[in-house]
């Protein structure tokens, strides 16, 4: 019947309560039944009977609050959606989407960000454009060939007076071939452009690491927001349950109406927290979609991430054997600094810039003595002559002297030249350029030293932060267990009238805080762990099995070098 109603897009309603909604009915406002409350009521009455109270005088009323329950899967199937006010007060089933094809895990989200992120794509285009600068620099060292054509018309009397060297109309063409044999500025520019291109590639690598960290953090924040949303909903349900308990206490005369009002206020506050949690989750999902270049509100299903995730080094227990005591932890930090300095794209970028500046300084020094040598050949051919002066010339002398005929060149002319040039004085420009290059090189070397210090500081700080968040996982779980046991005891005492409402509210708030801390502890550590990998310049998500083994091999070798190998224990 339910399937038929859904197929016909018909909303359905049940008076029997939550069970019918779980089976697919759209909504129900049946009374909420709490077996735990009933059991406590029975236990309380048994205790009162044992203390001598007459059983026949005990009230058997068990008031139950009506609770609106909505099956959101059915709502989506029939395209009928309650308004915000109804959703805020209802108990929602199947709120999470399950029929979504797009599924993400921590590893897949990071890989998709690397493949699709627009900022990284733009950086790749910048690198591709930069590669052409190297080609432009190399082109000056390759042969250069120019061709040209020319048509000239001059006045007739000048053509006649040229003795045939210039025709009134001339069409000619020429070709020039040149080759630089040696040019210190050209060779220096090629070397500098190659180094600058390497720096540009390292800048892109730096952005790739930043995008990886951002994507991993955004994914973990989505999981955190989902957990926060679930905990706030559970807290709202618990507050509603306590409101039922307060109403029961009022009904049996063990509490005043002020307790009901106080719990109604707590329910309203809990609803606000649930709304805020929903918004926080939506914002986290939008942020992740933006990094992945997806429609910002496109839905997706997430896979839970934890220390046992096979994509992470934390799933390999060997990692924690190298941090098991303060001495090992110190050696581990030293090793990670060594790895980070070696892999840092920031340092590699500065190394490339330093190499380029060193070549610029060498070129500035060589400019005082190194000439530029070039070979050039030129061919010119006159294709057409017309008008006066086009038939050559014969110079006729007055009698009795004979006429003289002068030789004329043919229409094809060529020449080959070897050129050597060396500037002697250019206003002290070379001295200034050399000094400038020297100072710029000193600046880059100081920047590299400062950057290396900052990288080491970030690595050590990030590792210490993870050293705090990792044990917090264990202690937050213990605190959560203890707080919920305390809540159970206080709730039972409140139902018996042994404690007041303030004690129960305090216990519930403490349990809420402990639940949030317990759930957040794993995400906090994973984010700290991702920060470590960003500072070191390598993410284990991209490591193959062989690369991981090689990493552990380097780690073991480093510990052996300092005489602290856990593998020998």
Domain check: are 393 and 498 in the same one?
A: no
At 237 the pLDDT is 83
Quick check: is 91 in a domain? Answer: no
- What is the per-residue pLDDT across 402-423, written as a single tens digit (0 to 9) for each? 555 555 667 788 889 888 888 8
Domain check: are 453 and 473 in the same one?
A: yes
The more confidently predicted of residues 210 and 397 is 210
Domain check: are 460 and 496 in the same one?
A: yes
Q: Confidence class of residue 361 from pLDDT cuts 50, 70 and 90?
A: very high
At 409 the pLDDT is 64
Quick check: is 395 in a domain? Answer: yes
At 569 the pLDDT is 46
Domain check: are 539 and 504 in the same one?
A: yes
The more confidently predicted of residues 339 and 89 is 339
Q: Confidence class of residue 287 from pLDDT cuts 50, 70 and 90?
A: very high
Contacts by residues 119-127 (CB-CB < 8 Å, ≥ 24 positions apart): 119/207, 119/211, 120/204, 120/207, 120/208, 120/211, 123/203, 123/204, 123/207, 123/208, 124/204, 126/200, 126/204, 127/197, 127/200, 127/201, 127/204
Distance CA 364, CA 362 (A): 5
At 406 the pLDDT is 54
Residue 123 pLDDT exceeds 90:
yes
Q: Confidence class of residue 19 from pLDDT cuts 50, 70 and 90?
A: confident
At 401 the pLDDT is 56
* Per-residue tokens: 518: 């317990």
Quick check: is 149 in a domain? Answer: yes
Residue 565 pLDDT exceeds 80:
no
Residue 36 pLDDT exceeds 60:
yes
What mean pLDDT is predicted for residues 141-146? Answer: 90
What mean pLDDT is predicted for residues 366-391? Answer: 83
Quick check: is 426 in a domain? Answer: no
221, 237, 243, 337, 351 from 444: Cα distances, Å: 38, 61, 68, 21, 9
Residue 254 pLDDT exceeds 90:
no
Q: Confidence class of residue 240 from pLDDT cuts 50, 70 and 90?
A: confident
Quick check: is 41 in a domain? Answer: no
What mean pLDDT is predicted for residues 69-82? Answer: 88
What's the domain range around 522?
A: 308-353+433-568
Q: Confidence class of residue 526 from pLDDT cuts 50, 70 and 90?
A: very high
Domain check: are 564 and 446 in the same one?
A: yes
Count the domains in the chain: 2
Task: Give every CB contact of residue 151 below 8 A, 6+ residues apart in sequence.
Answer: 169, 170, 171
Q: Confidence class of residue 219 from pLDDT cuts 50, 70 and 90?
A: very high
Q: What percent of the chain is modeled with pLDDT above 90?
A: 38
Domain check: are 327 and 412 in the same one?
A: no
At 539 the pLDDT is 92
Q: What is the pTM of this model?
A: 0.82
């Amino acid at each position: 019947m339910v399937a038929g109603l859904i197929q016909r897009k018909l909303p359905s309603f049940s008076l029997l309560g939550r069970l019918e909604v779980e089976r697919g009915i759209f909504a129900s406002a049946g009374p909420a039944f709490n077996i735990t409350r009933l059991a406590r009521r029975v236990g309380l009455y048994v205790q009162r009977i044992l203390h001598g109270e007459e059983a026949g005088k005990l009230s058997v009323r068990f008031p139950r609050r009506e609770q609106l329950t909505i099956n959101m899967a059915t709502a989506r199937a029939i395209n009928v959606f309650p308004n915000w006010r109804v959703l805020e007060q209802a108990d929602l089933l199947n709120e999470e989407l399950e029929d979504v094809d797009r599924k993400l895990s921590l590893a897949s989200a990071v890989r998709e960000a690397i493949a699709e992120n627009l900022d990284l794509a733009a950086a790749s285009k910048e690198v591709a454009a930069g590669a052409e600068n190297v080609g432009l620099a190399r082109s000056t060292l390759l042969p250069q060939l120019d061709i040209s054509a020319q048509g000239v018309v001059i006045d007739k009397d000048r053509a006649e007076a040229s003795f045939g060297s210039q025709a009134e109309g001339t069409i000619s063409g020429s070709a020039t071939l040149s080759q630089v044999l040696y040019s210190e500025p050209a060779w220096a520019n090629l070397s500098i452009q190659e180094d600058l291109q390497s720096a540009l590639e390292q800048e892109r690598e730096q952005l790739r690491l930043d995008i990886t960290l951002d994507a991993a953090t955004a994914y973990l924040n989505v999981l955190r927001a989902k957990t926060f949303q679930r905990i706030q909903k559970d807290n709202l349900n618990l507050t509603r349950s306590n409101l039922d308990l307060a109403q029961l206490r009022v009904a049996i005369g063990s509490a005043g109406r002020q307790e009901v009002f106080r719990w109604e206020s707590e329910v309203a506050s809990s609803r606000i927290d649930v709304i805020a949690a929903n918004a926080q989750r939506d914002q986290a999902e939008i942020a992740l979609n933006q990094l992945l270049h997806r429609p910002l509100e496109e839905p997706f299903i997430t896979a839970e991430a934890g220390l046992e995730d096979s994509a992470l080094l934390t799933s390999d227990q060997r990692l924690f054997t190298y941090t098991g005591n303060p001495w090992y932890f110190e050696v581990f930090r030293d090793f990670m600094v060594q790895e980070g300095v070696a892999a840092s794209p920031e340092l590699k970028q500065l190394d490339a810039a330093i190499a380029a500046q060193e070549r610029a300084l060498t070129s500035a020094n060589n400019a005082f003595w190194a000439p530029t040598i070039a070979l050039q050949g030129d061919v010119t051919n006159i294709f057409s002559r017309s008008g006066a002066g086009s038939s050559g010339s014969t110079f006729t002398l007055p009698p009795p002297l004979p006429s003289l005929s002068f030789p004329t060149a043919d229409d094809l002319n060529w020449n080959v030249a070897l050129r050597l040039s060396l500037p002697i004085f250019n206003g002290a420009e070379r001295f200034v350029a050399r000094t400038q290059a020297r100072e710029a090189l000193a600046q880059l070397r100081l920047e590299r030293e400062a950057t290396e210090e900052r990288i080491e500081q970030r690595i050590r700080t990030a590792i210490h932060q993870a050293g705090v968040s990792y044990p917090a996982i264990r202690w937050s779980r213990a605190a959560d267990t203890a707080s919920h046991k305390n809540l159970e005891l206080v709730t039972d005492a409140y139902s018996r009238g042994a404690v007041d409402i303030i004690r129960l509210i305090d216990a519930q708030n403490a349990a809420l805080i402990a639940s949030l801390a317990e759930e957040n502890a794993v995400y906090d550590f994973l984010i700290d762990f991702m920060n470590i990998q960003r500072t070191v310049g390598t993410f284990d998500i991209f490591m193959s099995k062989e690369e991981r083994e090689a990493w552990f091999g380097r780690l073991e070798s480093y510990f052996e070098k300092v005489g602290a190998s856990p593998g020998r224990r």
